[in-house]
Amino acid sequence: MRQSRLGWWTAPAMGVWVVCLAADPSFAADAKWETVRTTPPESVEELKLLQARVKTVVDKCTPCTVGILIGMGAGSGVIVSEDGLVLTAAHVSGEPGKTCTIVLPSGRKVKAKTLGTDDKLDSGMVQITDKGPNDGKWPFLPVGKSADLKKGQWLVSLGHPGGWQKDRPPVARLGQVQDFNKELIRTNCTLVGGDSGGPLFDLEGNVVGIHSRIGYTLASNIHVPADAFKSAWTRLVKGETIGKAAKPATASFGVVFDDEAENARIKEVIKERPAAKAGLKAGDVITEFDGTDIATADDIRNILRKRKPDDEVEVKLKRGSKTFIMVVTLGKPGE
């Protein structure tokens, strides 16, 4: 247990976290939360500033955050143009040229059609075909520049966890950027099924990402960067299918790789998963996997697509200056 100006206490038996923030008598009355700040609030006043900033973003962005119904599937999306263009995930919009339904926050349902997808990055577009409420135009939000994000920057996630529900507006969650590159953004904004395709906002209310994949833990999730949409914008609007989604792994290894590393460095080992049971640790760099020399994490992902649960693989790794060889029994995907 530790105490400071920003103090955290735990009640282990209840599993509850309590935040205790001391008042700051020198706090300026006209202070505002810096929208690109990467550190947590350090006083009651700062916490209130962050809360106020988040509320402003949620109020601004909720009217443009929508549900998407396609066949028996459901997801989320966000309107980004006055003519009703909606950004979502490719695995939500699916095949181009199909009819679908957009559910507005009010519950009103309007007609739409699916446009193009980039299956590799999981970016997709949908076009609302009904007229908007403002002289035929739709309310929309600006698409930001995801390359300008900073690690630790605070972001707001909106979406429809569990699918759109009557009398429940899009659900907001607050989180921070963990890491990002041209192909993905990783945050600790909590996501569940139904959130896919929903928007990720900076604290100015710009769309900086679209929810793509739920991570191994609730605190590590993947979003498609806004810049990835921009780079393929014209082709997506035309209804083209870009790229090809990689075949999913058929067996689970149970780690999160550092996607910014130039090697196969493990960022996190998931508790009680195959790698953890075998003794692998965060920071380990895998150099050989199942008899194959490894250069990047993608080499391992490719091998896992050819393996089955309960297969045993030999893993050679470096841990600091030492080299280890371990045997891992693979699990089922998602386990």
**221-225 and 207-213 strand pairing:** antiparallel
Q: Is the pLDDT of residue 71 over 90?
A: no
State the average pLDDT for the chain: 87
Residue range 187-213: mean pLDDT, rounded: 93
Which residue's structure tokens are 């965060």?
A: 282
Which one-letter DSSP state was computed for residue 108? -
pTM of the predicted model as reported, rounded to 2 decimal places: 0.71
- The span from the CA of 214 to the CA of 220, in Å, is 7
Its CATH architecture, for the domain 33-245, is Beta Barrel (2.40)
- The span from the CA of 111 to the CA of 38, in Å, is 40
Percent of the chain with pLDDT over 70: 87
Q: Is the pLDDT of residue 8 over 60?
A: no
pLDDT in tens, 143-160: 999 999 999 999 999 999
Q: Concatenate the DSSP letters of all residues of 269-306 into one string.
A: E-TTSHHHHHT--TT-EEEEETTEE-SSHHHHHHHHTT
- DSSP-based three-state secondary structure for 54: helix
Q: Is the pLDDT of residue 23 over 70?
A: no
Superfamily of the domain at 255-329 = PDZ domain (2.30.42.10)
Q: Where are the domains of the chain?
A: 33-245, 255-329
Burial of 314-326, coded b for 16+ CB within 10 Å and e otherwise, reads: ebbbeeeeeeeee
Helix (H) or strand (E) holding 65: strand 65-70
Query: Of 149, 146, 114, which Cα lies nearest the Cα of 129?
Result: 114
- DSSP-based three-state secondary structure for 52: helix
- DSSP-based three-state secondary structure for 7: strand
Same fold: 33-245 with 255-329:
no
Six-digit token pair at 28? Answer: 């300026």
Q: What is residue 242's predicted lDDT score, i.e. its pLDDT?
A: 92
Whether residue 206 contacts residue 158, with contact meaning beta carbons closer than 8 Å, is answered with no
